[in-house]
Amino acid sequence: DQQVKQNSPSLSVQEGRISILNCDYTNSMFDYFLWYKKYPAEGPTFLISISSIKDKNEDGRFTVFLNKSAKHLSLHIVPSQPGDSAVYFCAARGGGSEKLVFGKGTKLTVNP
Amino acid sequence: ETGVTQSPTHLIKTRGQQVTLRCSSQSGHNTVSWYQQALGQGPQFIFQYYREEENGRGNFPPRFSGLQFPNYSSELNVNALELDDSALYLCASSRIWTGGWETQYFGPGTRLLVL
């Protein structure tokens, strides 16, 4: 069963606009959430994370929002840049394990 | 500070063979985790090594095994290769300390093709 779901396989936005990537999870034991970005032929690169005790975390152009009651998180990128074009993975961990559980990813394309 | 490195970058094997993949962890990290990423999927946790012992395992058969060395580098061994083992194998290092865990940082991966 998929404990972390990214229901949009792809997203296309214009440069300068906001990109919103969504992620849902089912396991209530998850207490830490991360976003990774992956370019072709490279490993995933850590972007931003959020603990379950928070509902928002910002780092420059990237903001992650967590809605625990809905078991939903989202990554906002403002403003989007062509270099942000990549596959974005949502990941979660918890229940006393450092194991990361990943979604299938969303391919973001930012058009100039 | 060097990041996570993996070798080789690409590998082609035939069904039934054995393969060893290698990973050097990032400086200051004491934990290595291995993930398998099949085409179109997210990475799936294989196992983690901490203090040279397995510290958690995902839903992978025993023919997937590993080692961690005193310098925190690690090997992933896969015996009796099957066609479905074709995937990108990712290594991630992190630090476990008395206060908890830190973020996992990934290497570039090894692309394995089983024919």
Tell me the per-residue pLDDT of B47-79, one tens digit each, with 9 for 90 and over. 999 889 998 999 999 999 999 999 889 999 999
Among all chains, which residue has been given the structure tokens 């090894």?
A: B110
- The bridge status of strand B87-94 relative to strand A86-94 is unpaired
Contact B7, B56 (CB under 8 A): no
What confidence tier does B99 reach under pLDDT thresholds 50, 70, 90? low
User: B56–A41: do the CB atoms touch at under 8 Å?
Assistant: no
Residue B28's region, left for phi above 0, alpha for psi from -120 to 50, else beta, is left
pLDDT at B7: 96
Is any Cβ of chain A less than 8 angstroms from the Cβ of B102? no
Cβ neighbours of A51 (radius 10 Å): 10
Q: What is the pLDDT of residues B16-52, one digit of tens each?
A: 999 999 999 988 888 999 999 999 999 999 999 988 9
Order across the sheet with A72-77: list the strands.
A4-5, A19-25, A72-77, A62-67, A56-59
Percentage with pLDDT > 90 across chain A: 90
Of A34, A99, A105, the CB nearest to B56: A99
Percentage with pLDDT > 70 across chain A: 99
Tokens of A41: 């032929």
Is any Cβ of chain B less than 8 angstroms from the Cβ of A50? no
Provide the shortest C-alpha distance from residue A80 to chain B (in Å). 23
Report the distance separating Cα B8 and Cα B109, nearest Å.
9
Which residue of B103, B110, B111 to mutate against A (max A Cβ within 10 Å)? Answer: B103
Q: Which residues of A touch B106 (CB under 8 A)?
A: 36, 43-46
Of A42, A49, A104, the CB nearest to B42: A104
Contact A105, A91 (CB under 8 A): no
Question: Of A7-11, A36-40, A92-96, B14-18, which range is least confident?
Answer: A92-96
Closest CA to B62 of B79, B48, B82: B79
- The bridge status of strand B53-57 relative to strand B64-68 is unpaired
Is any Cβ of chain B less than 8 angstroms from the Cβ of A48? no
pLDDT at B102: 77
User: B42–A89: do the CB atoms touch at under 8 Å?
Assistant: yes
**Arithmetic mean of pLDDT, B86-102:** 84
Contact B110, B74 (CB under 8 A): no
pLDDT at B1 over 60: no
Q: What is the pLDDT of residues A29-67, one digit of tens each?
A: 999 999 999 998 889 999 999 999 999 999 999 999 999
What letter does residue A61 receive in the DSSP assignment? T
